[in-house]
Chain A
Amino acid sequence: MTRPLVVFDKVEKSFANFMAVKPTSFEIAQGEFLAIMGPSGCGKTTTLRMLAGLEAPTGGEIRFDGRVMNDVKPNDRDTPMVWQSLALFPFLNARENVEFGLKMRGVEPAERRKRALDWLERLGIGQFAERNVAKLSGGQRQRVALARALVTEPKILLLDEPLSALDAHLVIRMQSVLTKLQKELGITFVYVTHSQSEAFAMADRVIIMAQGEIAQIGKAKDIYRAPANKFVAEFVGRNNIFEGKVKSKTGKSLNVETPLGVFQVPAEGAPSTAAGSPLSFVVAADLVQLSATKPDAANVVECQLISEQFMGTTVTLFLEAKDGSEIKVQIGQRELETINIKNSAKLYASWPETRAHVLAG
């Protein structure tokens, strides 16, 4: 195991009247693409800004490449950042913007010009080098900001919701540009976003923050399949969350009593298996089976169709169970065609016991 590039050791940040980041510890490996995700105000941007030195932590220690960074000025760090607003210098053209960091490091004019042009070329905007940044399109400006941050060949790149101002189709394009760059350069990317699709599509690992704390940290797939708590399960979406009480334990499964009936879930990961203790579990929408006739299965919910949402080849169905709670089912368009949903007053959502995931918190 190589030494982590970044270590957050019980780092906290409090402003005058609230705690933006509660004592938080995590590590970022060399060459990792880490996304920090969460709703607005969860402390994700503050965490990133502390790494760049733009906010000073009020407790704990940030180490970068083995060095304690708490008192290092932002201009003495090599942690270039891409802003949500991009923060391009409006009084400089594209090339001069990219050259800025090199100029500050005392690189000779000819050399920095060459390196800036190389980067603009690499990101496919070489022909706009001498153009004022105000006259560039959103996607082009994005690339200038990336080039400006990467031209000094840093070990890490910080990105603060860089794609949130772009059109949807450009976001997908820039996502592939970013992941490709990160693979080629082999440097660490820390990417702050509120967008689950951006985080899950690009990142090796994802941190989910809520109210200044890490709610879960792990691979995108793990967070999606095995949310650690109710917040993550809800934030990730497309999850059916059931709350109830443990009724009894049989072997490796628990019988959980909920307003919709008794369900069987795996006992593994349950905070308590004692009868009567509260227990929540989730079943991801794409793991639920739907049928027009009542299946012979242990975990079945009877429900009615409320609405549908088409997303290309998959469809998300929103159903209502008899107690009014919503059941989400995500299935393929072709599979859906085999079920006669339109003419069925009642539908049955079901899932094998192993597909339920018990929430630890």
Chain B
Amino acid sequence: MASERRIDLYACCFRAPLLIWQSLFFVVPLGFMFIMSFWLVKNYRMTPAFAFDNWAKMLFWEVMWRSYGYTLGLAALTTAVASALAFPAAYVLAFRFSDAARRWAIFLLIIPFFTSYLVRVYAWQVVLAGNGVLSAFLGWFGMEPVSVLNSPVATVVGYMTLSFPLVLLLQTISLAAIDKSLIEAAHNLGCGNFRTVFAVLIPAARVGLIVAALFCFILSFGDFVSPYYLGGSSPPTLSIMIVDSTKSGQQWPRAAVIAVIMIMTLISIAFAAVTLAYRRRG
């Protein structure tokens, strides 16, 4: 008995820092935010209350749901595009590169994270603006200048800037970890190169591929920088609505409602994704 208790204590010592950190900086603020979503704003001042006004207002506000659909759709689109674009690149890095070359590629994929995301988004402004690099480039070929800035396309470009290197990195690592004999076994059983991708590689790397997509979705769904600086805030994403709510009339409680809705959405999607990733048959 005594030894069991000692093991428990020992294990707790390792769990404690994580538990304390998570409670202090995640559970407590989240709880506070949830409580705050029931508060009221009177004369631009927040007053503690237990009223459903904010929830009623936000849940039955059409603008809010349009923004929700837009944010969800844009994040899903980015996830799909990033995953699809990253896969061929990850395939080449994982199977066609030597180990040394792959290490360099992984290193290069980490480099984008050295610079601030905001700086990279400003760089995109220069590229995508009406009188920017892209228009000048098109002009050389005698084409009309285009302004991609302040459009959903620009927002997706920004989201990709944030998430693409990470998606590619996670995909590469999970593909490279596949037991090579599985691929040989597939060939050996009459499966061609292209078919092996769908019959073996994607199922074998499923966890990594889903986690990569999940990260892309989470980063895009909650991002404020790209929809604001590249998308021009219109239509607004949920993150922009949060900022707007706090700025206009000190509506922190309404912002809290949006934030709670966003977190519940992310928790459901993350849970579904992880369940899908680790689902086992038989």
Inter-chain contact A75/B187, CB cutoff 8 Å: yes
B21: min CB distance to chain A, Å: 34
Would A54 and B188 be within 8 Å (CB), given that A89-B203, A90-B204 are in contact?
yes
Inter-chain contact B190/A91, CB cutoff 8 Å: no
Specify which chain A residues have a CB less than 8 angstroms from the CB of B193 in the assembled complex. 75
Among A57-65, A97-105, A114-122, A301-309, the stretch that binds chain B is: A97-105
Number of A-B contacts (CB under 8 A): 75
B184-206 at interface with A (beta carbon < 8 Å) = 184-193, 195, 199-200, 203-204, 206
Q: Mark A60-102, 1 if CB is under 8 A from B, else 0.
A: 0000000000000111111111010101111111100000110
Inter-chain contact B206/A91, CB cutoff 8 Å: yes
Consensus secondary structure, chain A interface: loop
Inter-chain contact B185/A87, CB cutoff 8 Å: yes
- B115 close to A (CB within 8 Å): no
Task: Give Cα A79 to B190, complex, Å.
Answer: 9
- B43 close to A (CB within 8 Å): no
Task: Give Cα A87 to B191, complex, Å.
Answer: 14
Specify which chain B residues have a CB less than 8 angstroms from the CB of A73 in the assembled complex. 187, 192
- B3 close to A (CB within 8 Å): no
Specify which chain B residues have a CB less than 8 angstroms from the CB of A92 in the assembled complex. 203, 281
Inter-chain contact B187/A74, CB cutoff 8 Å: yes
Specify which chain A residues have a CB less than 8 angstroms from the CB of B184 in the assembled complex. 54, 74, 83, 87
Inter-chain contact A91/B204, CB cutoff 8 Å: yes
Q: Mark A33-68, 1 if CB is under 8 A from B, else 0.
A: 000000000000000000011100000000000000
- B179 close to A (CB within 8 Å): yes
Q: Mark A174-212, 1 if CB is under 8 A from B, else 0.
A: 000000000000000000000000000000000000000
Inter-chain contact B282/A93, CB cutoff 8 Å: yes
Task: Give Cα A135 to B195, complex, Å.
Answer: 27
Inter-chain contact A104/B195, CB cutoff 8 Å: yes
- A148 close to B (CB within 8 Å): yes
Task: Give Cα A148 to B186, complex, Å.
Answer: 11
Inter-chain contact A101/B190, CB cutoff 8 Å: yes
- B181 close to A (CB within 8 Å): yes
Inter-chain contact B282/A135, CB cutoff 8 Å: yes
Specify which chain B residues have a CB less than 8 angstroms from the CB of A52 in the assembled complex. 188
A218: min CB distance to chain B, Å: 29
**CB nearest neighbor in B for A83:** B181
A75 is contacted by which of B182, B190, B280, B282 (Cβ under 8 Å)? B190
Task: Give Cα A104 to B185, complex, Å.
Answer: 12
**CB nearest neighbor in B for A145:** B185
Specify which chain B residues have a CB less than 8 angstroms from the CB of A94 in the assembled complex. 282
Specify which chain A residues have a CB less than 8 angstroms from the CB of B188 in the assembled complex. 52, 54, 74-75, 77, 79-81
Task: Give Cα A74 to B196, complex, Å.
Answer: 13
Task: Give Cα A286 to B164, complex, Å.
Answer: 70
Specify which chain A residues have a CB less than 8 angstroms from the CB of B185 in the assembled complex. 81, 83, 87-89
A17: min CB distance to chain B, Å: 15
Inter-chain contact B182/A89, CB cutoff 8 Å: yes
Task: Give Cα A4 to B51, complex, Å.
Answer: 88
Task: Give Cα A85 to B192, complex, Å.
Answer: 21
Task: Give Cα A345 to B24, complex, Å.
Answer: 82
Inter-chain contact A75/B281, CB cutoff 8 Å: no
Task: Give Cα A87 to B179, complex, Å.
Answer: 8
Task: Give Cα A73 to B190, complex, Å.
Answer: 9
**CB nearest neighbor in B for A151:** B189
B238-282 at interface with A (beta carbon < 8 Å) = 280-282
Inter-chain contact A91/B282, CB cutoff 8 Å: no
A85 is contacted by which of B181, B186, B195 (Cβ under 8 Å)? B181
Specify which chain A residues have a CB less than 8 angstroms from the CB of B187 in the assembled complex. 53-54, 73-75
14 A-B pairs in the complex with CB atoms less than 8 angstroms apart: A54-B187, A73-B187, A75-B189, A75-B190, A75-B191, A78-B190, A81-B185, A87-B184, A91-B206, A100-B199, A101-B189, A104-B199, A130-B282, A132-B281
13 extra interface residue pairs, beta carbon distance < 8 Å, beyond A75-B193, A89-B203, A94-B282: A75-B186, A76-B190, A77-B188, A78-B190, A80-B188, A85-B181, A87-B179, A87-B181, A91-B204, A104-B195, A105-B190, A130-B282, A149-B189
What 8 pairs between A and B have smallest CB-CB spacing?
Answer: A93-B282, A132-B282, A104-B190, A87-B185, A101-B189, A87-B181, A91-B203, A74-B187
